[in-house]
Structure 1
Amino acid sequence: MVRFFLPFLIFLLFIIEGTIMQTFSPERFGSEYFIIPRFAFLVVLVLSIFFGRALGTVYGLILGLFQDVVYTHILGIYIFSMGLIAYFLGFSYKIFQKNLFLLIITAVFGTVLLDYLVFGLHTMIGITELVHERFFRERLLPSIIINSVFMILFAYPLRKFLVFLQKSDDIEEKINKRKKDFRWQR
């Protein structure tokens, strides 16, 4: 049951990004600022840091596919970007798991990398003609703020839950090993 919670959480955050967050977005009220929430991707990055780059990459690719299908008209940009960043941040050391501050900084850094990679690919393909200064001021900075606030609020409970999952995996492995050893001795 606990295993199904992570995909459900990521999917729920993906839905919240596109519905609830867009309702309260500043551009809806005439502001020039544009917030890009990356809550689901932040969870994928933390997951990648805790459980390794293979699992994080799979979640990143699936989330990227959802992002491409729902929000863009070009398939592959988010699949590539989210998968790649989750893979590279999965190389993080155990110190990132234990230190909450480093976990928050690393996850927010991953969203900055994602935004820059997507912006660069869109610029290279010719989808956007937005200059870097406007992108940085109007999109990246507000997005960093909202994603940082999300991570500050939810990093501790998420970390506690992932530590619980790691311990339950260790216990499960020990039980399976003992069962195997017991069968071998018979």
Structure 2
Amino acid sequence: MKKAYIPLILLVLVILEGLAINLLPKEIVLSDYLIIAHWVLAFLVYITVYYDEDDTYYSVIYAFIFGLFIDVIYTGILGVYMFSYGFVVYVMNRLRNLLYRNFYVLLLLGVIAFVMADFLIYIMYSVVGITDMVWQDYLLRRLLPTLAANLLFLLFLFPIFKKRLIRWSEEQLEQGN
């Protein structure tokens, strides 16, 4: 049963991402700022840092699967989130192997992940013609507010999931041996 916890949490986060806009104050929603919830990606960063081992890629597999779910449910183009999340989480997995696992590494990888993923999504949407936002507007009105909001969510998750993911990872290793 414990193997189902992580996919269930990710599934709940996919659903909650669609409701995230309702949680924001009307002043922000009606303003020129665009805040995109990357809650699945935030949890994938936790999986990368605290659950995956040096030779496991659970976070990358989950990134592709749940990125595809986001594409199917919320976007009109398949593969944008799947590719972006999969690629970004793979890079985070490689970077994590170079660094010690702690809170500051989590924050650093979170910032890198949110910026890379959102930028890749912006580039793909620009190429396809879905968005025509100029670079300066994208940076000030979408990337920075999105980064700030998702970092707050990443910090919110810390006391809830850090110890659980470490424990689940240790249990996974014990079962494998």
- Shorter-chain TM band: 0.7 to 0.9
For the Cα contact (< 8 Å) 1:112–1:144, is it kept in 2? yes
Equivalent position SS for 2:77: coil
Between the aligned residues of both structures, percent identity stands at 27
- Counterpart position of 1:13: 13
- Counterpart position of 1:77: 80
Q: 1:4 to 1:27 in 2, by over 3 A?
A: farther
The unaligned stretches of length 5 or more in structure 2 are none
Q: 1:27 to 1:114 in 2, by over 3 A?
A: farther
Match of 2:174 among 171, 174, 179: 171
Equivalent position SS for 1:11: helix
- Counterpart position of 2:97: 93
Q: Point out which structure has higher relative CO (alpha carbons under 8 A, 6+ apart).
A: 2
Counterpart CA distance in 1 for 2:151 and 2:35 is 12
Matches within 5 A, 1:1-186: 1-19=1-19, 21-25=20-24, 26=26, 29-49=29-49, 50-52=51-53, 54-91=57-94, 92-93=96-97, 95-97=99-101, 99-174=102-177
For residue 29 of structure 1, report the CA deviation from its aligned partner.
4.5
Q: Which has the larger radius of gyration?
A: 1
Report Cα offsets for 1:21-61 as digits up to 9, x if no partner.
Answer: 11133577521111111111111122133315621221011
Aligned AA for 2:156? L
Counterpart CA distance in 2 for 1:138 and 1:27 is 14
* Aligned residues: CA RMSD: 1.9
Equivalent position SS for 1:60: helix
Aligned AA for 1:51? D
Q: 1:89 to 1:7 in 2, by over 3 A?
A: same
TM-score, L = length of structure 1: 0.84
Work out the number of aligned pairs and report it: 172
For residue 169 of structure 1, report the CA deviation from its aligned partner.
2.2
